[in-house]
Amino acid sequence: MSKNLSELAGRQGVEKSLFEDLGVISRNEGSPSKDQLQELADKFLVGLSTTYGTATFYDFMKPENKGKKVYVCNGSACLCSGKQDAVTETLKTHFKADEIGHMTCLGRCHENGAFNFNGKNYSAKSADEIAKIVSSSSGTIDEYNVQSKGTVILTSTFSSTDDYYKNLSETLKKGRQAALDEIKASNIRGRGGAGFPMGFKLESCMNTTSDQKFIICNADEGDPGAYSDRYLLEKQPHSVLYGMMIAGFITGANWGLLYIRAEYPESVETVQTAINELHDKKLLGENILGSGFNFNFKIIKAQGAYICGEETALINSIEGQRPEVRTRPPYPTLNGLFNKPTVVNNVETLAAVHWILENGGSKYKALGTEKSSGTKLVSLDSFFNKPGIYEVEMGTPLSVVFNELGGGFKSPIKAMQIGGPLGGIVPASKINELSLDFESFANAGFLLGHASVVCIPESFPMIDYIEHLFDFASFESCGKCFPCRLGTKRGHEMFKNANEGKSKLNRELVEDLLHTLETGSLCAHGGGIPLPVKNALTYFESELKPYFG
């Protein structure tokens, strides 16, 4: 990371952004020209290498994106559904092959057949339906099951904005320490995967002296199979905005930035509408409710890069730098966006704050388990009889989530990948042994993460799935550290060659590669991909044995 580039990026504040300008000039052609890149470099006092390096990183800015008119989802859930080849072939009757690109997870995991056209997402069910979409581009309403078991926090019915924010004035009067104390008492841990205590981040930032601080909502954690963030952004946007406002009040930040995935265009529209409503009601801006608290929101539209779900890569992205992971320390709460103290929280984490402050941190902590407090959203894919978003208290048996709420499986499956591409591959035989909490999964050698569930059917070869995971990890690597940059590519090559019968896998070499990735990678991207591979090698050894020499 260049501290100088961070300072230069911040000289015009958050309202004028190099990253956003790159997105604007890429919109028509799919990728900016060299002259446009030079013009932006001059405007923001950076080198052409910076604007070029940034633009060529993202799916929707890189030169390969030029001329693309439609994008087919190639996420894990869509892959396992087996529908995407047919979708692509049908689209070829309407578009040239080089006009068809890809997006990784559009959040349509509950029905699959997903693609993006004219800035909107669709799930195709027939060739006729695709033809109607292409001809009208009118958009479709996305519906899925939303249900809860136990205490309802994240899926509660929204009454009105006035009713939802009626406790804001009292919270501001009590002071930021009182709000922080409730959050710390709740023991809420980050819902993005790492499970880091929210209160610790807020306190660290609050105690850091600075003339400027930021709250960032990480809405770019695009784990294929997970659409819980999309649910909250589109169906419960005020829960996320309220959580960010309180985080800003506690830390002394006056800007809240929502970095929302390019693959979720509808989320951007819904959240912006909610922000506009808050402005209309005088709940944003200067001296909110006469408290002296100033706060505003800004939406940052991402451009397609999985690694931006990692908080420091996300910060680099907003600054207009190539979204590479930063070395830590210093941590973002001390030195984040534009070198200012910054708190980055996941969508679901922020969405729980309203309930915590309204009901008390101790009541939230009483839910779930000792170390995994509160509730969790679970995303069930199309292999369930009742796919959708389910809210359950931490510690709920996995069998209850799958069989009682999800209605069981439509067809036989042999495993589930839970928690995204870096989550564990859980064999079906483990369903009755696990409960939905951080400790249960960790103790069994898995990772809860986002709690997204991608089912791997009995007919899907495990060698294909491992090849897919390494391909994904290689394509999405930021490239900063060589264990990840090279290791994920070598892994993909090894398993692809074995799958195609070109060579046999060497067990010692595979284990050495996994060890290097796990211990040498700078962040959880390279460090996490060995987990599902190890799970597969352990639980599906007999199926994979023929591919080893």
| DSSP per-residue letters across 72-85 | EE--HHHHHHT-HH
β-strands 342-346, 396-397 pairing: unpaired
pLDDT in the model for residue 143: 85
Tokens of residue 299, six digits: 């939406």
DSSP letters spanning 279-298: HHTT-SBSSGGGSS--BEEE
Examine the domain organization and report whether 210 and 311 are in the same domain: yes
Q: Within this chain, do residues 356 and 255 fall inside the same structural domain, yes or no?
A: yes
- Beta-ladder partners of 117: 70, 120
Of 365, 384, 417, the residue at which a domain comes to its end is: 365
Q: HSE (CB half, 13 Å, CA atoms) of 96?
A: 4
Q: Look at residue 360 in the predicted model and tell me its pLDDT.
A: 97
Task: Give residue 474's domain range.
Answer: 462-547
What residues in the chain have per-residue pLDDT under 70?
1-2, 137-140
CB burial class (10 A; 0-12, 13-18, 19+) of residue 65?
buried
Whether 278 and 163 map to the same domain: the answer is yes
Q: What is the CA radius of gyration of the chain?
A: 23
The amino acid occupying position 444 is A
Q: By the 8 A CB rule, do 201 and 189 touch? A: no
Residues 275 and 261 in one domain: yes
Looking at residue 474, its amino acid is: S
User: In 3-state terms, what secondary structure has residue 29?
Assistant: coil
Last residue of a domain, one of 106, 136, 166: 136
Same domain as 86, residue 18: no
> Do the domain assignments include residue 237?
yes
Strand partners, 413: 457
pLDDT at position 459, please?
96
Residue 414 covered by a domain: no
For residue 261, give the CATH number of its domain. Answer: 3.40.50.11540
Asked if residue 263 lies in contact with residue 107, where contact means CB atoms within 8 angstroms, the answer is: yes
Judge if 123 and 153 occupy the same domain.
no
Q: How many other C-beta atoms can be found within 10 angstroms of the C-beta atom of residue 361? A: 21
Residue 499 sits in the same domain as residue 354:
no
Cβ atoms < 10 Å from Cβ of 39: 16
Amino acid code (one letter) for 453: V
Q: What is the mean pLDDT of the chain?
A: 94
Domain tally for the chain? 4
What tokens does 126 get? 């027939």
Q: How much is the pLDDT for 1?
A: 47
| Distances 483 to 56, 522, 523, 528 between C-alpha atoms, Å | 22, 8, 10, 12
DSSP, collapsed to helix, strand or coil, labels residue 425 as strand
Instruction: State the amino acid at position 30 in one-letter form.
Output: G
Single out the residue of 403, 1, 323, 367 nearest to residue 189, CA to CA.
367
Using CA atoms, how far apart are residues 275 and 406, in angstroms rounded to an integer? 34
For 239, the enclosing helix (H) or strand (E) is helix 237-251
Considering the domain architecture, whether residues 234 and 176 belong to the same structural domain is answered as: yes
User: Can you tell me whether residue 21 is helix, strand or coil?
Assistant: helix
3-state secondary structure of 25: helix
Note whether 349 and 240 are same-domain residues: yes
Tens-place pLDDT, residues 100-155:
999 889 999 999 899 999 888 898 778 888 998 888 866 667 889 999 999 999 99
Element (H, E) at 38: helix 34-43
Identify whether 294 is part of a domain. yes
Give which of 384, 93, 66 is closest to 225, Cα–Cα: 384
Distances (CA, A) of 305 to 236, 383, 473: 25, 27, 11
> What sign for the dihedral angle of Cα 12, 15, 18, 19?
positive
How many residues would you count in the chain? 549
